[in-house]
Structure 1
Amino acid sequence: MGTPASTAGLRVKSKTRRKRSNANSFALLFILPSLILYTLFVIVPTLGSVYLSFTSWDGISEDVRFIGLANFAEIFQSPRVHNALKNTLVLTISLVLLENIAAIAMALMVDRVRWFKNLFRSLFYFPTLLSGVVMGFVWAMILNYNFGVFNQILNAVGLGSWAIDWLGNPDYAMISIILSTVWKGAGYYMIIYLAGLQGIPTELSEAASIDGASGWQQFRFITFPLLAGSLTVCMVLSTISALKIFDQIAVMTDGGPGFATETLTYIIYKVGFGELRQGFGTALALVLFVLILIVTIIQVQILRKREVQY
């Protein structure tokens, strides 16, 4: 038989185990409703999509014919998909660079301005409150060839020869979408960079200024390196957002003129719902998912190493 002390210790351990078990049971009860909803509306549809990607289902009929890897073979051979992939990469690279450059510039301005700081912050952030559809309609009206504000301003200042069909010309349609999307999205990333700037001790810049460092040198060697964490977040978020952009293209150009602005997300919609090829559209959606996953993992790994260096 054990000593009274050891017996008491065993009792305490037993009570502790029961308390932990009860706590885990209560935690499971709280998690269970969300887990059920997540399973029904995310996991099950995802598994169903994987199956449909191997079929020729049209999205309406009950005839679901298994065709193996035919959809994926068509994806890698289709010139239309290749063009959409090229447009997606151009759009993504342009948006990631321009949105983050504009966001950092606006954050620096809001952080350093002495007067009307809240006003500037509100003005820069306001476009992010608009939905992609509303923003698309606004910019479609602004860039309209016949009555758009932009062309009217060019005519008013004697630059009528510069007035072009911004959304109807294949050479300018993608540029128009990129610039309008930067206008909408940069303010969101500005808030993240602004939070990062406010976490940088002012003593560092003051010491650098005393040592004779210029404003650019202070930004390059102090401010920008210390924004590494904010840069990682903004780069990843802007990349994911750009890879799955849809609203602006649907409203402003409908993927045109021709296929000049058709991206992977938009071709998924057109093929799946417009051409009634749900099987092919689902297969393309899975390819896009894998692409986003790979790009995000690589990007995070590279940017995290940069954070460690600084």
Structure 2
Amino acid sequence: MKSKSTFRYPLVFIIPSLALYVLMFMFPTVSGFYYSFTDWSAYSESVRFIGLENYYRLFTESVLLTSIRNTLLYAVFVTIFVNIFGLGLALMLNERMRLGHFYRTAFYIPVVIAPLIVGYIFTSIYHPENGILNQFLKASGLNFLAVDWLNDSRYALFSIICTEIWRSSGFAMVIYLAGLKGIPKDMLEQASVDGAGAWSKFRNVIFPLLAPAFTVNFLLTVIHSLKVFETVLVLTNGGPGYDTEVFNTLIFRNFSRGNWGYATAAGFILTILISVIAIFFLRILRKREVDM
């Protein structure tokens, strides 16, 4: 029979962690869900329960649909191209090459730079008059491509997407590199002996064995993209107009205006959206891993 001290020993580690989880995650989540059904704001001393009024306002205002569209467009393009570039870099750096460690470090450095700093850097790069990008285009004789990247509604969201692809591709690269290191070399050698070319080896050997790495990268990129905030805030602040408004800038804008109950309702909708999309893709990608 186990002594009381043996039984209590694990609780010494479990209880503090559980208390911190309840305090920092469960309590804010539950209280936030409650306040989304109230008129909680900076303009009233009392908090009244108003039912689904905040959600009704959200779904009847065009700005929510605009933010959903922009968030989903951003997530789709960032997820696709971050994984394409990350996989391409990993395949390139997996080969023996001079300065391989230097290139890995160089490609990964953008990941560790804070999104706010990246936003300020690219604000300078995209500047219509003094930005490096437009100066380069003009010096190359491509004046017609030198546009106002952040204040023209035709290019603003595209510019934000390109910024995030540059910042996040290195993270995907590291995960794909780890997956490539786990592929047995004798399988690749056997494929070469059987006459398989580079594309055939990639399609039939490498990519199927990278399924776990692809699942991790895809899900992390989707979730991170749907939560985009700092980069958009610094580069465009949701503008021009609402052309680059995303879910988190909508939430931030209403919190800063004191519409706390309304903003909390928008945050809860974002939580549901991320959860549904993540679970949907997780089921598909897990099934793909099993089938392979």
Which residue in 1 is equivalent to 2:178? 195
Give the deviation of 1:205 after TM superposition. Answer: 1.3
Q: Distance in 2 between matches of 1:41 and 1:210?
A: 56
Picking from 168, 173, 183, the partner of 1:185 is: 168
Give the deviation of 1:61 after TM superposition. Answer: 4.3
Deviations 1:79-102 (A, max 9, x none): 110010000110010111010011
Q: Distance in 1 between matches of 2:43 and 2:189?
A: 67
Taking only the aligned residue pairs, the percentage that are identical comes to 38
Where does 1:1-310 land on structure 2 (aligned, <5 Å)? Answer: 15=1, 18-19=2-3, 22-59=5-42, 61-273=44-256, 275-310=257-292
* Unaligned residue ranges in structure 2 (runs of 5+): none
Greater C-alpha radius of gyration: 1
Q: State the one-letter code of the partner of 2:30.
A: L
- DSSP 3-state at the match of 1:24: helix
Q: Distance in 2 between matches of 1:190 and 1:118?
A: 13
Give the deviation of 1:276 after TM superposition. Answer: 1.5
Q: Distance in 2 between matches of 1:82 and 1:170?
A: 17
Across the aligned residues of Structure 1 and Structure 2, the Cα RMSD in angstroms comes to 1.2
Deviations 1:135-178 (A, max 9, x none): 00001100110100000111112222221000111010111000
Q: Distance in 1 between matches of 2:254 and 2:125?
A: 30
Q: State the one-letter code of the partner of 1:253.
A: T
Deviations 1:174-197 (A, max 9, x none): 110001101000101111110000
Q: Distance in 2 between matches of 1:280 and 1:24?
A: 46
Deviations 1:273-305 (A, max 9, x none): 1x2211011011011101111111111100000
Q: Distance in 2 between matches of 1:111 and 1:270?
A: 44
- DSSP 3-state at the match of 2:280: helix
Q: Distance in 2 between matches of 1:85 and 1:76?
A: 11
Contact 1:269-1:281 at 8 Å conserved across structures: yes
TM-score normalised according to structure 1 size: 0.92
- DSSP 3-state at the match of 1:261: coil
Question: How many residues align structurally?
Answer: 292
Give the deviation of 1:41 after TM superposition. Answer: 2.0
Q: Distance in 1 between matches of 2:11 and 2:172?
A: 36
TM-score normalised according to structure 2 size: 0.97
